Amino acid sequence: MKYIIAGKDDMELLMESRLEMLSVVNNLPKEYVFSDELLKYSREYFSNGNQTTVLAIDEKVIGCASICYIEIMPTFSHPTGKRAHLMNVYVNSSYRRQGIAYEMVNMLIKEAKDKGVTEISLDATKAGRPLYKKLGFTESDECMVLCL
């Protein structure tokens, strides 16, 4: 098992892992065809987005985790204005419960600290909450969302 920080040269691996994760999480049929728009913007994001993605590889990609960096106006509680959002955390079902997601997310947390990030947010599934709590995440009532 090896963990890599994926770069632009790893685009096909990034897309493979992203589409597998979307298929499994959304319970899509095997013959599902992703829209050209989703594919195009996903590729653009992996190429140009302010993000880091870790891939877990065991002969093939078996897991992924991404962190997206966001810069906002500095505040007293976030003096750098640097925040991040964790997403796309996924491990193939044959490899779960082996610490792979923990390792990938921990790598991203360390990188975020090195970049001066003061807060990492995420949207957790019920199944993922124990992992995130083990890593030190806490639940928050502070956020409100407006979907446009």
For the chain, what are the domain ranges?
A: 2-134
Kindly report the pTM of this predicted structure: 0.89
Report the pLDDT value the prediction gives residue 140, as an integer from 0 to 100.
78
Cα–Cα distances in Å, from 68 out to 10, 29, 73?
17, 28, 17
Q: Which two tokens stand for residue 89?
A: 């955390």
37-40 contacts, C-beta under 8 A, 24 or more apart: 39/15
Which CATH code for domain 2-134? 3.40.630.30
Position 125 scores a pLDDT of 84
- For 86, the token pair is 């964790």
Q: How far is Cα of residue 125 from the mean position of the Cα atoms in its chain?
A: 13
pLDDT of residue 145: 72
pLDDT attached to residue 134: 94
Distance CA 74, CA 145 (A): 20
For residue 133, report the phi and psi dihedrals to the nearest 5 degrees: -65, -40
Model confidence at 131, pLDDT cuts 50, 70, 90, reads very high
More confident residue, 35 or 75: 35
